[in-house]
Amino acid sequence: MPRKLLKRLLPHPERLMANRQLRLLGRLLEDPFLLHLNRRSVAGGVAVGLFMAFMPVPIQMLLAALASILFRVNIIIGVSLVWVTNPITIPPVFLFTYLVGTWILGTPLHAVAFQPTVEWFWQEFGSIWKPLLLGSFIVGSLASFAGYGLVHLLWRLHVVRQWHHRRLARERRRRRNRQPDPKSAARRTGD
């Protein structure tokens, strides 16, 4: 992954430390590895963020921050990727995870007219919580593994591509700077 691009896109560490919500974590944020931009840290942050994005809990960002600290991965990426599920994407994502859970458990769908209210949620939660949590865990785990592997693969491809470009540039410079050897030039002309 292009480290320069990530540095441009991610907030500066001082800005992160000044965040009011993250101040709750206090000295835990002082680990410098939480802000590293290397393959392991970024891939781990992606895995943590994607897993927590699929968990149907209201404190996803805090849980992603705690998991990032626990696994010592990039906390900014971990917390940012929680926003894969946002107010627009939550209904289709959690419907999908619920469907996955019912399919795995072999339970029938609980067909109820959806109402976007807290009362409806608490009223229906008793009948949907098992398939929803199981589906969320499975989909979150799969997304997490896929994200982790994809970042490792893309990072590796980027590094190999950079090595290839450097080798070609070195060869071009060597050819351009190569001075003809007087002895070999004399042999070619027949002197």
Across residues 14-18, what is the average pLDDT? Answer: 64
Nearest Cα neighbor of 93 from 48, 143, 45, 130 is 143
Residues of the chain above pLDDT 70, percent = 74
Select the more confidently predicted residue: 40 or 11: 40
Distance CA 8, CA 125 (A): 42
**Residue 138 burial (C-beta neighbours within 10 Å; 0-12, 13-18, 19+):** middle
164 vs 22 pLDDT, higher one = 164
In what helix (H) or strand (E) does residue 74 lie, and over which residues does it extend?
none
pLDDT computed for residue 187 by the predictor = 60
110 pLDDT band (50/70/90 cuts)? confident
Query: CB atoms < 10 A from the CB of 79, how many?
Result: 25
CA distance linking residue 10 with residue 78, whole number of Å: 11
Nearest-5° angle of CA 129, CA 131, CA 136?
Answer: 90
**Over the stretch 117-171, which tens digit does the pLDDT of each residue have?**
778 777 777 788 899 899 999 999 999 999 999 999 999 998 899 999 999 988 8
Query: Token pair for residue 39?
Result: 């393959």
Taking the C-alpha atoms of residue 39 and residue 145, their distance in angstroms, rounded to an integer, is 15
Q: Taking a C-beta distance cutoff of 8 angstroms, is the pair 148, 81 a contact?
A: no
The predicted structure's pLDDT at residue 120: 73
Quick one: angle between helices 118-177 and 90-105, nearest 10?
A: 100
pLDDT at site 118: 73
> pLDDT tier at 6 (50, 70, 90 boundaries)?
low
Q: Please name the residues in contact with 17: beta carbons below 8 A apart, sequence gap of 6 or more.
A: 23, 29
Residue 138, pLDDT score: 97
**How many other CB atoms are found less than 10 A from the CB of residue 177?**
7
Cβ neighbours of residue 84 closer than 8 Å, sequence gap 6 or more:
49, 50, 53, 93
Residue 84: predicted pLDDT: 92
CA distance 183 to 40: 53
